[in-house]
Amino acid sequence: MAQRQVELAGRGRRFLAALIDGLCIAVVNWLIFRRTPPDISSSISSSAAYTLIWFTYVWVQHGWWAQTLGKRAMGIKVIHVNFDEIGWRTAAWRGGFELFFSLITCGVGGFIDLSWILWDRDNQSLHDKVAKTWVVNV
């Protein structure tokens, strides 16, 4: 078996990057949908917008730079397992799987997807496995 030519990002760095990204997305969502008092239609609109904002955030940043703001702050990025840049298609597939798996399982799939790195020897989440990507140190 060939020696891997990259250093995989640690679980802690990935977790902190995800927290930073979640905070960025929450702030954008709050700026767009800050209403007083909230009602059910604004809550539904806010949830749908949050989902769209999240997907756009991860797709554009991974497609363009292979890093989100959180990943840049933590010094990690996403690459294809063949060591190429991931590009727009893989970024969309990676983010789309994560979103779809979470939505069809009412959030449980998202938890399983992200928790997968805790026992995977390559620190891959399920969306990394599906998209054939690694998160590596820069």
- HSE (CB half, 13 Å, CA atoms) of 38? 10
Sign of CA pseudo-dihedral 79, 58, 129, 70: positive
In this predicted model, which residue has the larger pLDDT, 17 or 33?
17
* pTM listed for this prediction: 0.87
Cα 49 to the center of its chain, rounded Å: 16
Write out pLDDT tens, residues 18-67: 999 999 998 988 888 776 566 666 666 777 878 899 999 999 999 999 99
pLDDT in tens, 75-93: 999 999 999 999 999 999 9
Phi, psi values for residue 69, rounded to 5°: -60, -40
Is pLDDT of 1 > 70?
no
Query: Which two structure tokens, joined as six digits, stand for 105?
Result: 């399982």
